[in-house]
Amino acid sequence: MIPAAALLCALAAAGDPCLVTDEAGRTFRTCFDPGHRLEAAAGVRAASAGGARGGALDLSAAWRWRGDTRGQGGAVEWLRDQAVLALDAALVAGAAEEARAVAWRGTFVRRLAEPFILLPGPRPVRFPFPFDVGMAVEAAGVRWERTREREAELTVLRSTLLLDVARHLGGVRRAAFGPALAYDLWLGRDAAPVHVIVPFTGAALDLVAESAGGLWVGALTARAGAALRVPGGFAGYAAAALSVERVLMAVNDRPVALGLRLSGEHGATGRAPTRVEAGLVVRVTSPR
């Protein structure tokens, strides 16, 4: 008896290795691009902040676009991940408890076979360099929560110069770190705005790993450093988030994933100084 998996592999549609045909001649998709999708997710989260604990329904949506480019030899040249209109809201008893939105977020990493530093001139000089380089940018974000409904935190710009070592860690899409720059505005109707600036006094870490078929996705992001608040002065901040997702099924070739997310932050916003969250999420995305 031929194992079902072997049969499916044998019947994989020619030309698209992600499209499989079963014994009845029906085709379906078995791999997905987690970086290129329109997604909507719902889940639950539990948070501990300032001594208070609570749960919430978590809703989110985003349009993610991945546009990697390859050089003439076929090797990846640019890794380009972007997200447009990433929305996230927490609801308690049907009412909005917290909402976040980011208009645009992009991460760009340049891959070379042999990274180098070049001194230009009539006869340029080239030195080896151990990292790929890149940049992460986040522009136009807003964050609001019910307990401080007359206030909002605006992200004008956040950016990180990335040094990427993923080339040395097979199977990892991105393993990058670097100095961070940020400019946020905390606005309140009854108070003068607070300017929050990170002038390369912080650092960020971005680790992303995906299985070959896109069924598993793991990500770890972290940022920490000192932010200047005006008025206020320098204050330390730290934030980190770990997420793991697994595609469990697909409906009309649209993958449905179950994910686990852990996050924590300290001093990163104007709200509770320390906050830890854990959540489970079900994510539905467009096929790719």
Partner 1 sequence: MTTSLAAALAAFALAQAEPTTAAPPPPAASTAAAAAGPRILPTLGLLPPGAPVLREGVPVRCLYGPSGTFRAQCDEGARRCLVAPDAMLDAQGRPSGPLERADACAAPAIMEAELAGWEIVPALADVPPGFRRDERQRASQVSFDLGRRLWLGGGFAAGGWPWQPGAFVTSGLRLDRPFTWDGAAALARVRALEGWTAVNGSAAELGGVAIDFSRAYPHPLLRITTFLGTPRRYDPPLYVGLWAEALRFETLKTRSGVRHERTGAISAAVTLDFWRSPDLASYLRLRAGAGYEKVSGRNDGDLLVLALVEGEAALDGDGLLHLRGAMGTEVVTPTGEGPDASLPDRRWRHLARAELERILFSVNDQPVSVVLQARGAKRTDVPDWPDTWTFEGTAQLRFSLWAPPLRAAARQDALERP
Applying CB under 8 A, which part among 8-16, 56-64, 153-161, 168-176 lies near partner 1?
Answer: 153-161
The sign one gets for the Cα dihedral 7, 10, 12, 17 is positive
Nearer to partner 1, 14 or 119 (CB): 119
Applying CB under 8 A, which part among 27-35, 59-67, 131-139, 262-270 lies near partner 1?
Answer: 131-139
Q: What residues from 85 to 114 belong to the interface with partner 1 (CB under 8 A)?
A: 108, 110, 112-114
Q: Which of 51, 124, 170, 171 binds partner 1 (CB under 8 A)?
A: 124
Cis peptide, bond prior to residue 231, ω within 30 of zero: yes
Say whether residue 122 binds partner 1 (CB under 8 A): yes
Q: What residues from 9 to 68 belong to the interface with partner 1 (CB under 8 A)?
A: none
Say whether residue 200 binds partner 1 (CB under 8 A): yes
Measured from the CB of residue 176, what is the shortest distance to partner 1 in angstroms? 13
Measured from the CB of residue 129, what is the shortest distance to partner 1 in angstroms? 6
Say whether residue 161 binds partner 1 (CB under 8 A): yes
Q: DSSP labels for the chain?
A: ---HHHHHHHTPPTT-TTEEE-TTS-EEE----TTSEEEEEEEEEEEEETTEEEEEEEEEEEEEEE--EE-TTS-EEEEEEEEEEEEEEEEETTEEEEEEEEEEEEEEEE--SS-EEEE-SSS-EEEE-S-EEEEEEEEEEEEEEGGGTTEEEEEEEEEEEEEE-GGGSTTEEEEEEEEEEEEEEEEETTEEEEEEEEEEEEEEEEEEEE-TTSSEEEEEEEEEEEEEEETTEEEEEEEEEEEEEEEEEEETTEEEEEEEEEEEEESSSSS-SEEEEEEEEEEEE---
Q: Are 30 and 20 in contact (CB under 8 A)?
A: yes
Say whether residue 139 binds partner 1 (CB under 8 A): yes
Measured from the CB of residue 66, what is the shortest distance to partner 1 in angstroms? 17
Measured from the CB of residue 192, what is the shortest distance to partner 1 in angstroms? 7
Nearer to partner 1, 124 or 171 (CB): 124
Other Cβ atoms less than 10 A from the Cβ of 202: the count is 21
Applying CB under 8 A, which part among 17-25, 82-90, 189-197, 240-248 lies near partner 1?
Answer: 189-197
Say whether residue 252 binds partner 1 (CB under 8 A): no
Q: Which of 147, 193, 235, 236 binds partner 1 (CB under 8 A)?
A: 193
Q: Are 201 and 181 in contact (CB under 8 A)?
A: no
Nearer to partner 1, 108 or 216 (CB): 108
Q: Which of 228, 244, 258, 262 binds partner 1 (CB under 8 A)?
A: 228
Q: Which of 34, 43, 134, 259 binds partner 1 (CB under 8 A)?
A: 134
Binding footprint of partner 1 on the chain (CB under 8 A): 71-75, 108, 110, 112-120, 122-124, 126, 129, 131-135, 137, 139, 156-157, 159, 161, 181, 183, 192-193, 195, 197, 199-200, 228-230
